Structure 1
Amino acid sequence: MNRNLMISDIHGHLNAFEQLLAKVDYQPAHDQLILLGDYIDRGPASKETIEFVMDLQANGAIVLRGNHDDWFLQWLQDPSQVSPNFLLNGGMETIQSYLHELGDDFSIQKQTEWATSIRENHPTHINFLNDLPLYYEHEAFICVHAGIDPLQIDWKNTSKEDFLWIRKEFHNSIIDANKPIIFGHTPTKGLQKHAGIYFNDNKIGIDGGYTFGYQLNCLIYEQNEFTEAAVTKEEIENGMTRQLFPRK
């Protein structure tokens, strides 16, 4: 493989994701694409993004689980056991991408009907999300969604909760790993003054906060060097992009 391309936190913004792949001229036969989770919630096309990512995985992409992907799985299993924060943090957009008109009844009974319908009609999506791993280790770096537990002697002993949700404990710690930890989950604008890739102390943050109005980043690893590319919300909204893949 010539390049490793890492992207995180797409959040249902399929058009921006496609445009970013076009911008870096992603070639599945020559590039290793690594996706760090959060394919759904907040954006307008969660269901379509999952379908697209499934196709990418079938063509060799490495696909990790994010906290929003995991949250959706929990909701599908039993909405009554999931915090209303799921709906408030983009879950409604995901449900709507599957079921369209939802009405104004958000009771647990109604949510259970929605979850049952999605489970019954899209079992391949559920299986896909359930099978996603929590990390990927390359000879030169480690990829996770949120971070690792800095108190663990072996980072692989990090809990599922921390792989998917950790923030400050990871960000504020010196990470004693022999290779950089590449993570998403926390928009880099909250870690530095801009939304580009965040490089700090053996940690590389790649979530550009596109869903919050900033940009979708791609971290590129080639010939022992990291470089970056991005598409901004402004570029996408002003149509300064091109289509890469034909829609099914």
Structure 2
Amino acid sequence: MRTVDRILATSDVHGENKKLLKLLEKTAYEPDKDLLVVCGDLVDRGEENLATLTTCIDLRKKGAIILKGNHEQFLEACLKEMIINDTTSSENINLWVGHNGGASTYDEIKNLSQKKLINILNYVRSLPTYFTSGKYIFSHAGANTRIPIEKNSEDDLVWMEDRFPYCPAYKNKIMVFGHVPTWLLYSYDKKFKKKNAKIWYDKDWNDKIGIDCGGVFGGRLAAIELPSYREFYE
């Protein structure tokens, strides 16, 4: 792996492309010097989903690691139905649109050509579910830490086990994850309300960092710099 000056990690962009670009500007991200990890949930709920995907495609070409979240899992399943069954309405699609935050993404892709839909599907399919660098492990939603990280299924890594925040992770490792807005994690300092949401650190086990500060839910898009633990917000 190439030598980098620092690692920057963010998560849960949720179709807020302008926020992502402003956040990266705040971090002074330099692709040639830094390693950027985006921990999933690129799309849904926000209004700039295709723009976010385009940005992440470009970032990956420049060396960033883009991980899959549960909303990419939703998108992948629905794209398959749209392509294979040539439909824009099914139980799966309607659930995604009506209940799982997919309405804005659906509106952006429903009239795209089959070729463009296939390109998006291939990109989403190509996203890894975790990444390791030194003592850090990155995933969208933690892991089933009772088994080695490489033994985890996709669902283990894009959906959070109820026990995950409360239990030790992996020995001598630190897990960096998103998925759950930090104010919903245990032992979060409630004085930091949504608009001032902060990155969460597991102070019991010192082996987990939650970086989803709920930007699309009235919070902030966050990034953490490693190993300095410097925080950035947009």
Do the structures match in fold with TM over 0.5?
A: yes
Q: Kindly provide the CA deviation profile for residues 95-145 of structure 1, in whole angstroms up to 9, marking residues without a partner as x.
A: 11234xxxxxxxxxxxxxx6xx55433432221111000100101200000
Percent sequence identity over aligned pairs: 32
User: Which stretches in structure 2 are left out of the alignment for 5+ residues?
Assistant: 82-88
Alpha-carbon distance in structure 2 between the residues aligned to 1:40 and 1:209: 13
Q: In the alignment, which of 218, 224, 228 is matched to residue 213 of structure 1?
A: 218
User: Which stretches in structure 1 are left out of the alignment for 5+ residues?
Assistant: 100-113, 232-248
Alpha-carbon distance in structure 2 between the residues aligned to 1:226 and 1:156: 26
Q: In the alignment, which of 162, 172, 186 is matched to residue 180 of structure 2?
A: 186
Normalization by structure 2: what TM-score?
0.85
SS in 2 for 1:182: strand
The structural deviation recorded for 1:85 is 3.6
Q: Kindly provide the CA deviation profile for residues 65-118 of structure 1, in whole angstroms up to 9, marking residues without a partner as x.
A: 01101111001112636274411222110011234xxxxxxxxxxxxxx6xx55
Normalization by structure 1: what TM-score?
0.80
Map 1:79-228 onto structure 2 (within 5 A): 80=90, 82=92, 84-87=94-97, 88-99=99-110, 117=112, 119-152=114-147, 154-191=148-185, 192=188, 193=190, 194=192, 195-200=197-202, 201=205, 202-221=207-226, 224-228=227-231
The alignment yields a C-alpha RMSD, in angstroms, of: 1.6
Contact kept, 8 Å, 2:143 with 2:161, in 1: the verdict is no
Are 1:59 and 2:62 counterparts?
A: yes
SS in 1 for 2:90: helix
SS in 2 for 1:53: helix
